[in-house]
Amino acid sequence: MKLAIAVISVLTLGLSIYIFVAFDNDLQGYQFQTNRYEWLSDLGVTFHLGVDGIATPMVLLTGIVMVTAIFMSWNLNYRTKDFFALLMVLITGVYGVFLSLDLFFLFFFYELAVVPMYLLIGVWGSTRKEYGALKLVLYLVASSVLVWVGILAIFIEGGLGSFNLLDLKEAEFGSGFQRAVFPLLMFGFGVLAGLWPFHTWSPDGHVAAPTSVSMLHAGVLMKLGAFGIIRVALELLPQGAEDWKLVLVGLATVNVIYGAIAAMSQKDLKYVIGYSSISHMGYVLMGIATLDPRGMTGAVYQMFSHGIMTALFFALVGVVYDRTHTRDISILEGLSKRMGITATFFAVAGLTSMGLPGLSGFIAELLVFVGLFKTYPVIGVLGVIGAAITAVYILRLLAKVFFGPLDPRWEKLPDCSRLEGAAMLGLVAVLIFGGVYPQPFTSMIDSGVGPILQRISLLT
């Protein structure tokens, strides 16, 4: 069973890589489109898949995080079959959202990604798992109601009798309508992206979730929210984006600063990473709100980079928790003496999180800041301050938990296993590759971001 899952997931990663490599940045529109299979003709629902320059890196991200997450939970021994089956449902949902060109199926898969989270966290989780699982599901289903209303409103107002994104792009939406519906989608998808003040489900969910679920949760699930804002809200309602961008950038700034400060004051390793995710998703939302080519490209690249980085973080926290059975920062001390590999990887992830040159996070944040300084200089300064706070809590964490004197009780700690090490090494490699040679990513994202921003710039 486990072997079958491993083979399938590696094959899927292979396909994702193939799509990434074979994607042609110079072509217009969506690539690798499937036929439009009629699914419910009465409503004009079609099953139609395709990717653009924004979805392709996300597909690759999903593939990478999926494979590593599965290897990280290789030694799970409680109801293994159920666990991996649910994990696969979750991944199906994630892929589906990134690939769907039909709003019905986008929503279908969006909800599908949420369903298994309840059981994955509730059954296999740890600290306050029932609370965390329920909170997460209720937040996400509630936010999906907003998305649902928004999609229905677009469907009705479009008047084409079609849920297909390509058809709806041709439809005319009045500016009043756009102003009214954009916030539904912005907040609806925003909740999943961890938008302040609707973010609390995420850290609580992380703390309760098992390692691989945390990896997928922060690595790809939260990206669905940001992706939804771009794919549905920005593409279909450009005027609404123009009207609401100030609100979005304002909330995103709170995300960055508040998330970083909250991360600084946490005692639980997972809460630290959870709040740092909130902070980093703030950069993504900021970048989107710039509506500027640099900023948007940075936002999407940040989605990719943060996805890999945070998956690595949660994998490492999982390793530490597995060996020490605690995530309490005040107890953990000097682990690098016994867990050299883990400590090194943690340092790489931490440096990416701080935006150190040579790692993918630097490129992403740089692009976001360039976009920000062009559009909202003041917010740009706040963003940089956020990055500075990030440096503080990451360095403090590294110093306390990994470096420094070894606590005698961790004297006999084994390092990560070979399988875990290999999986995490893969993530580290992607981070470094993305940092030294970002060209394939950024030019691909540019090709996806371009047409969207063109529609917006035509308005003014």
Partner 1 sequence: MNIDFALLVPEFLLAGLVFVMFGVDLFLPADKKAYLPYLGVAGLMAVIGSVFSLLGDEGSLYGGIFLVDEYALFFKVFFPIVGIVMMLASRDFVTKHLENPGEFYGLVMVSVLAMMLMASAAELLTGYIALELLSFCLYIMAAYAKREARSNEAGIKYILIGAFSSAFLLYGISLIYGSVGTTTFTGIAEALQAGDDLRTAFLAGLIFIVVGFGFKVVAVPFHMWAPDVYEGAPVPVTAYLAVASKAASFVLMLRLFATAFMPALDDWKIIIAVLAALTMTVGNVVAISQSSIKRLMAYSSIGHAGFIMVGIAALSESASNALMLYLVGYSAATFAAFLCIIIYFNLTGKEQIVDFAGLAERSPMLALALTVSLFSLAGLPFFAGFTIKFYLFTAAAREGLLWLAAIAMINSLISVYYYLMVIKQMYMKPAQDPQESTTAVERLKVPPVTTALLALLIGVVFLVGVYPAPIVHLIEEATPLLFSNAATSLASGP
CA dihedral sign, ordered 441, 447, 448, 453: positive
Q: Give dist(CA 292, CA 282) in Å, integer.
A: 16
Pairing state between β 37-40 and 45-47 = antiparallel
Q: Which stretch in 12-20, 112-120, 281-289, 308-316 sits in contact with partner 1 by CB under 8 A? A: 112-120
Give the CA radius of gyration of the chain: 21
* Beta carbon of residue 50, minimum distance to partner 1 (angstroms, whole number): 20
Shorter beta-carbon distance to partner 1: residue 117 or 452: 117
Identify the residue among 6, 8, 10, 123 touching partner 1 (CB under 8 A).
123
* Beta carbon of residue 149, minimum distance to partner 1 (angstroms, whole number): 5
Q: What are phi and psi of 163, to 5 degrees?
A: -95, 0
Shorter beta-carbon distance to partner 1: residue 109 or 362: 109
Q: Which two tokens stand for residue 171?
A: 């439809």
* Beta carbon of residue 138, minimum distance to partner 1 (angstroms, whole number): 6
Q: Are 163 and 236 in contact (CB under 8 A)?
A: no
Shorter beta-carbon distance to partner 1: residue 148 or 403: 148
Q: Are 389 and 353 in contact (CB under 8 A)?
A: no
Amino acid at position 42, single letter: D
Contact string 20-59 vs partner 1 (x = CB under 8 A): ------------------xxxxxx----------------
Enumerate residues 6+ apart whose C-beta is below 8 A from 11: none
Q: Give dist(CA 291, CA 198) in Å, integer.
A: 23
Binding positions for partner 1, 217-276, rule CB under 8 A? none
Identify the residue among 6, 76, 112, 432 touching partner 1 (CB under 8 A).
112
Identify the residue among 122, 225, 293, 371 touching partner 1 (CB under 8 A).
122
Q: Are 87 and 216 in contact (CB under 8 A)?
A: yes
Binding positions for partner 1, 129-148, rule CB under 8 A? 129-130, 134, 137-138, 141-142, 145, 148
Q: Give dist(CA 109, CA 434) in Å, integer.
A: 28
* Beta carbon of residue 81, minimum distance to partner 1 (angstroms, whole number): 9
Q: Are 133 and 178 in contact (CB under 8 A)?
A: no
Identify the residue among 71, 98, 104, 173 touching partner 1 (CB under 8 A).
104
Identify the residue among 6, 8, 10, 115 touching partner 1 (CB under 8 A).
115
Identify the residue among 84, 118, 182, 275 touching partner 1 (CB under 8 A).
118
Shorter beta-carbon distance to partner 1: residue 139 or 393: 139
* Burial class, 261, CB count within 10 angstroms (exposed 0-12 / middle 13-18 / buried 19+): middle
Q: Which stretch in 116-124, 198-206, 218-226, 369-377 sits in contact with partner 1 by CB under 8 A? A: 116-124
Report the Cα 77 to chain-centroid distance in Å.
28
Q: How many residues bind partner 1 (CB under 8 A)?
A: 34
Residue ranges of alpha helices (H) inside 291-414 are: 293-324, 340-354, 360-375, 377-397
Shorter beta-carbon distance to partner 1: residue 117 or 230: 117
Q: Give dist(CA 388, CA 399) in Å, integer.
A: 16
Contact string 148-187 vs partner 1 (x = CB under 8 A): xx--xx-xx-------------------------------
Q: Give dist(CA 371, CA 365) in Å, integer.
A: 10
Length of the chain: 460
Report how far apart the first and last C-alpha atoms of the chain are (Å, whole number): 56
Shorter beta-carbon distance to partner 1: residue 86 or 445: 86
Identify the residue among 109, 187, 283, 301 touching partner 1 (CB under 8 A).
109
Shorter beta-carbon distance to partner 1: residue 141 or 432: 141
Residue appearing with tokens 């980079």: 305
Binding positions for partner 1, 53-92, rule CB under 8 A? 82, 89
Q: Which stretch in 102-110, 372-380, 402-410, 450-458 sits in contact with partner 1 by CB under 8 A? A: 102-110
Shorter beta-carbon distance to partner 1: residue 82 or 243: 82
Shorter beta-carbon distance to partner 1: residue 1 or 458: 1
CA distances from 323 to 267, 327, 409, 411 (A): 18, 10, 12, 12
* Beta carbon of residue 220, minimum distance to partner 1 (angstroms, whole number): 18
Q: What are phi and psi of 268, to 5 degrees?
A: -95, 130
Shorter beta-carbon distance to partner 1: residue 137 or 349: 137
* Beta carbon of residue 122, minimum distance to partner 1 (angstroms, whole number): 5
Residue appearing with tokens 């996805």: 307
Q: Are 243 and 315 in contact (CB under 8 A)?
A: no
Shorter beta-carbon distance to partner 1: residue 123 or 247: 123
Amino acid at position 354, single letter: M
> Under the rule (CB under 8 A), what is the footprint of partner 1?
38-43, 82, 89, 104, 107-109, 111-112, 114-115, 118-119, 122-123, 129-130, 134, 137-138, 141-142, 145, 148-149, 152-153, 155-156
